[in-house]
């Protein structure tokens, strides 16, 4: 009875009469998965709106680990729909080499990429894809087991506008005796050599030494923030991380002289 009364006095809104831009914003709030699986099937008008490449300018698919859907296929659909209008992509868990290849083939204006916890992405494919990301400004590759300094070099060589890099590594093997005390500057040297315009750098779980840190400070002269999060539970040298700060400030590397670093975070907490 109440519904009939509302219809008579015109209180029930006709959603199809909403301005297109308002409807577009409402649909975008649903998220990529809902847009692909449900929204575009609601009615012809919504389907037409979902076919607009600008609807896929920002592709975000995070916290979807338990989704029953094929997330990679959904993401591929979104990339295809957005094409060169895609400027930002933020995904977790499901990306493979095939998705990275498609991203490189279908997009030309990517500004920001975040890919996390995707162990099926390889150096070979990402290094090749980096050649197509020439407009990239921000990149995060966190906890992707197979990516190494080769990917970093490819990024540095092909992404001249890059200002922010987060290359965080999984802490696997830290409790193994063979891993204890292992240090490597390969990634640090790749960054120092190929990314002179970098402003913000985050390296969690990296095994660089003081030499690697100084190389970064010397090579990245515009660096404003540096976050090195050391997670080595078995390292007997409790001053290892703080040693970075002391040695660089007291000695002063070329990159440090005459300029200010806004903040340098060194963590040694569990």
Q: What is the pLDDT, as a whole number, of residue 173? A: 46
Q: Residues 14-38: pLDDT tens digits?
A: 767 788 889 999 999 999 999 999 9
Q: Residues 30-69: pLDDT tens digits?
A: 999 999 999 998 889 999 999 999 999 999 999 877 888 9
Which residue, among 41, 42, 99, has the nearest Cα to 74 in the 3D structure?
99
**CATH class of the domain at 52-162:** alpha beta
Rounded to whole angstroms, the Cα distance separating 29 from 78 reads: 15
Cβ partners under 8 Å of residue 176, min gap 6: none
* Parallel/antiparallel/unpaired status of strands 138-142 and 112-116: parallel
Are 129 and 101 a contacting pair, CB within 8 Å?
Answer: yes
Residue 8 has pLDDT above 70, yes or no: no
Q: Where in the chain is the domain with CATH 3.80.10.10?
A: 52-162
Complete DSSP assignment for 43-101: -HHHHHHHT-GGGGSEEEE-S-TT-SS-HHHHHHHHHHHHGGG--EEEEES--BHHHHH
Q: Residues 167-208: pLDDT tens digits?
A: 998 654 444 444 445 688 999 999 999 999 999 999 998 888
């Amino acid at each position: 009875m109440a519904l009939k009364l509302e219809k008579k006095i015109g209180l029930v809104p006709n959603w199809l009469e909403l301005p297109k831009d308002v409807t577009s914003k409402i649909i975008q709030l649903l998220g990529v998965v809902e847009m692909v699986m449900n929204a575009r099937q609601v009615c012809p008008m919504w389907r037409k709106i979902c076919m607009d490449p600008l609807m896929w300018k920002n592709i975000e698919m995070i916290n979807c680990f338990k989704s029953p859907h094929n997330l990679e296929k959904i993401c591929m659909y979104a990339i295809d729909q957005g094409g060169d209008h895609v400027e930002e992509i933020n995904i977790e868990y499901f990306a493979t080499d095939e998705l990275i290849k498609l991203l490189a083939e279908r997009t030309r204006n990517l500004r920001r990429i975040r890919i996390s916890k995707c162990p099926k992405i390889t150096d070979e494919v990402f290094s090749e894809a980096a050649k197509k990301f020439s407009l990239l400004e921000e990149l995060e590759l966190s906890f992707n087991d197979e990516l190494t300094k080769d990917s970093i070099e490819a990024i540095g060589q092909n992404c001249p506008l890059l200002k922010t890099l987060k290359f965080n590594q999984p802490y696997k093997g830290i409790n193994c005796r063979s891993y204890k005390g292992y240090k490597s500057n390969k990634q640090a040297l790749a960054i120092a050599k190929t990314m002179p315009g970098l402003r913000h750098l985050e390296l969690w779980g990296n095994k660089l030494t003081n030499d690697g840190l100084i190389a970064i400070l010397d090579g990245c002269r515009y660096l404003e923030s540096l976050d090195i999060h050391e997670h080595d539970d078995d390292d007997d040298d409790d001053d290892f991380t703080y040693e970075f700060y002391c040695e660089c400030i007291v000695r002063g590397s070329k990159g440090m002289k005459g300029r200010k670093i806004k903040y340098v975070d060194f963590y040694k907490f569990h």
